[in-house]
Structure 1
């Protein structure tokens, strides 16, 4: 969720800023403390009904071909590499592994006039099904998904944020990495009654969870919902997004993923969500907790300590947040079951194995050096509820979301660091 400039000058400025306003000397005296979440809620309003009508209208045009996750996973695309191709800071005792993107995605730079994509969220078949595999009749896939946002500099040097968002579907079968990008879009019916779709507006794609055929994407005050039974293959590879005549395009991507509904944590669309005690929680990172009733875990990015971690119950039948008053689509107001406030500075992700909580953020003073970068390694902290966290391991520079695989007892994570010369991005896993 941190938005860093990648030029050597700005990296130096960032390093100076982190040094001056970084975390306190220690977090040891502060606990990962339980909080009252009784007033928190996720509210879908009427978005599922509205989006269902628009989605059906777009599909009825014949301009897109409807696919599912199995079909996309079976289609070759870009080629990444198995294993960790960059320094990570991960403890060797935790048996680190993972994979890397191709060169273009590794070095993509948002801070240019052409713009670029920056990774944020991570999920996979380890979330999608309890056995950790995505099944179809012929093949059982080990698969992953990552979320990205697109930024660019305008002609005055101003950063245009969150112009586009996408998710990446990765087939990791047989220790090979093949993946395709899917542009996140919103179907709509225009004033003339014609069906179309546009790029999802203002989406940072902070975090996500793959749950059955549902994909949850966090975006500040909003929890966006997508169906992996409704992946659209477009019929052209143009820059435009949407339908023109009989031509569909998703800004140079072969696929678009349409919104089916969304929840919000506040009653006002307002401006960007701001994390603060007493306010409804922001939805930044996401992970899945399969202990007891399945739960969606959200965590806030906050400029110091004090970001909140909240667990929202899920309904395995509707594959949506659980509610006592579902509409025709299974959606309704949902209240969380528990929450905590984190002492970790700049918390970027949170996940649990059912006993311990793992929190990604800044390292305490004196930890995280040796990255070879102008920014220190991040740290993954581990805590029991209402106890102080301790550093579990250092982790890649600007680590973001993490998730836990109950089938393999491994943590998965992703980092967002920009290095337009040699790349520095990995998707990583460690023993949890």
Structure 2
């Protein structure tokens, strides 16, 4: 998706060599640094890149056929130990907030069953939440991954809090930290970036959503709060700092897409499409406005220099530490990356294409959790569009999720690995429960998506019945065991295609648009009963 990007010039070889020797990683918006980001400073992880070449039919079995679990093997990120040291250092400086405190102060409201309708001719879901208008139509933030407390805990409670759902969004207006050679994409100048926070590359945010009873009124409500994901680094002034989540790999990928997320125990796993997984920890959610009053610029701690710092959550154009003041693109909460998992196999998927090779490292397009198996398993799958020479419909496999907490040895997909059955590809999310694999397939903005059901038979994936029509722009899937619902989120927004604007009611130009975003849940019992 083209967007406005900040043009950068290469720094001198001497400066790059000096910082490479120290092992420091620094983003463009750090203090005391030149405005460029050399390729050697890419945020971890990064898979080994190979030379793409078409693979014939001999390299894959068929739609639904077996794939190689070994291609999915993940290796611990090379910088995990250093990342731990950085997060520990940041923890000394910035105060933390637990999930329950964050939810108690949730500042945004979702509405159930508003007039927005991303389903059109598709059947209504069992439940639907409409986001606030700015989130529903945001050009900048595009929803993708979905998880919740049913993934996180066997009893579906975080302490005493329940009914918690999470969705991830990526900065789709200015995605990732790129060196884009195309001058027609409308790069922001330095002064424009300072004046317009949308020019800044914010990366990924996670949104915590809770349906609950308001303690003051006794009325039901749905509240939510955004949390910025961050990457820690040490800048040239030897200060710990953080930046938004990025991947400088243009045109391999434009930023971290966050196409899938899984909350399991304390950890949040985020899919990094070409590379593997990024890992975050719910115990390290930093609070830059502890008193809840953005105007007070609360006192923070001091780093190894002993200088007292403060925070500013009103300025949306900066991130990290600048002149002893902490910024976060205006977000109160920041959750830094604590570790990574990288694909061990070479990444041979063609750049700038939705086609997929049939062997080698997959793409981590989406992830989910299956708690109906022993052990609990993290599911990972690919978004692919087959084309000549690249027949793969997309691979999907599962890992024992508890093994990902160790970070000391490779973790291999176990139990099964298959190609998806949809011959034209397009899987946006998949989730398994009690032997059924559900797969969301997007059909673009002009028609509802498809929700497919499958079972395994003699090592193959077999479709069950017909596709169930679902939301336009259907994304990642999340199983909520207690309610028996399969949740997802729609990603489209009005104005990006004629289909979105053509279906708008002139009398209500915002409220009924087919392409406004909603969170929604289907009853799995209803899905399983469809023909």
TM-score (norm 1): 0.79
Once the two structures are TM-superposed, the CA of residue 69 in structure 1 deviates from its matched residue by 1.2
Dislocated runs of 4+, deviation >6 Å: 90-94, 159-162, 268-274
**What CA distance in whole angstroms lies between the structure 2 residues aligned with 1:185 and 1:95?**
34
The corresponding residue for 1:184 is: 229
Once the two structures are TM-superposed, the CA of residue 392 in structure 1 deviates from its matched residue by 4.2
CA, structure 1 residues 204+92, in 2 after alignment: closer, same or farther (shift >3 Å)? Answer: closer
Q: Any unmatched runs of 5+ in structure 1? A: 6-29, 110-115, 364-372
The corresponding residue for 2:379 is: 297
CA, structure 1 residues 374+52, in 2 after alignment: closer, same or farther (shift >3 Å)? Answer: closer
Following superposition of structure 1 onto structure 2, how do residues 237-276 of structure 1 map, counting pairs within 5 Å? 237=313, 238=315, 239-266=317-344, 275-276=356-357
The corresponding residue for 1:142 is: 163
Match of 1:428 among 512, 515, 520: 520
Once the two structures are TM-superposed, the CA of residue 93 in structure 1 deviates from its matched residue by 7.8
Once the two structures are TM-superposed, the CA of residue 89 in structure 1 deviates from its matched residue by 3.4
Cα deviation 1:343-386 (Å, max 9, x = unaligned): 222111111112111111146xxxxxxxxx95111100001122
CA, structure 1 residues 374+392, in 2 after alignment: closer, same or farther (shift >3 Å)? Answer: closer
CA, structure 1 residues 269+360, in 2 after alignment: closer, same or farther (shift >3 Å)? Answer: closer
Decide which structure has greater strand share. 1
Following superposition of structure 1 onto structure 2, how do residues 366-405 of structure 1 map, counting pairs within 5 Å? 375-385=446-456, 386=460, 387-405=462-480
Equivalent residues of 2:123, 2:470 under 8 A apart = no
Following superposition of structure 1 onto structure 2, how do residues 71-86 of structure 1 map, counting pairs within 5 Å? 71-83=101-113, 85-86=115-116
Equivalent residues of 2:149, 2:157 under 8 A apart = yes
Q: Any unmatched runs of 5+ in structure 2? A: 4-61, 175-181, 188-198, 214-219, 247-254, 289-310, 387-391, 496-508, 525-531
Equivalent residues of 1:84, 1:97 under 8 A apart = no
Query: Across the two proteins, how many residue pairs are aligned to each other?
Result: 376
Once the two structures are TM-superposed, the CA of residue 272 in structure 1 deviates from its matched residue by 7.8
Match of 2:420 among 342, 346, 350: 342
Equivalent residues of 2:367, 2:381 under 8 A apart = yes
Following superposition of structure 1 onto structure 2, how do residues 221-240 of structure 1 map, counting pairs within 5 Å? 221-234=275-288, 235-237=311-313, 238=315, 239-240=317-318
The corresponding residue for 1:332 is: 409
Equivalent residues of 1:383, 1:389 under 8 A apart = yes
TM-score (norm 2): 0.65
| Structure with larger Rg | 2
Equivalent residues of 2:451, 2:470 under 8 A apart = yes
CA, structure 1 residues 203+93, in 2 after alignment: closer, same or farther (shift >3 Å)? Answer: closer
The corresponding residue for 2:487 is: 412
Match of 1:309 among 374, 396, 414: 396
Once the two structures are TM-superposed, the CA of residue 31 in structure 1 deviates from its matched residue by 5.0
Tell me which moved more, 289-298 or 240-249.
Answer: 240-249
Cα deviation 1:309-333 (Å, max 9, x = unaligned): 1101111xxxx526xxx4xxx5431
Q: SS at 1:380's partner residue?
A: strand
Q: SS at 1:152's partner residue?
A: coil
**What CA distance in whole angstroms lies between the structure 2 residues aligned with 1:312 and 1:4?**
34
Once the two structures are TM-superposed, the CA of residue 389 in structure 1 deviates from its matched residue by 4.6
Equivalent residues of 2:63, 2:393 under 8 A apart = no
**What CA distance in whole angstroms lies between the structure 1 residues aligned with 2:429 and 2:200?**
21
Tell me which moved more, 298-307 or 348-357.
Answer: 298-307
**What CA distance in whole angstroms lies between the structure 2 residues aligned with 1:426 and 1:390?**
26
Is 1:151 the counterpart of 2:179? The answer is no
Q: SS at 2:339's partner residue?
A: strand
Q: Quote the RMSD (CA, aligned, Å).
A: 2.9
Cα deviation 1:175-229 (Å, max 9, x = unaligned): 4121111111101122443211111112211110111111010011220100011
Equivalent residues of 1:51, 1:260 under 8 A apart = yes
Q: SS at 2:521's partner residue?
A: strand
**What CA distance in whole angstroms lies between the structure 2 residues aligned with 1:99 and 1:346?**
25
Once the two structures are TM-superposed, the CA of residue 262 in structure 1 deviates from its matched residue by 0.6
CA, structure 1 residues 130+89, in 2 after alignment: closer, same or farther (shift >3 Å)? Answer: same
CA, structure 1 residues 189+68, in 2 after alignment: closer, same or farther (shift >3 Å)? Answer: same
Match of 1:117 among 132, 141, 157: 141
The corresponding residue for 2:131 is: 101
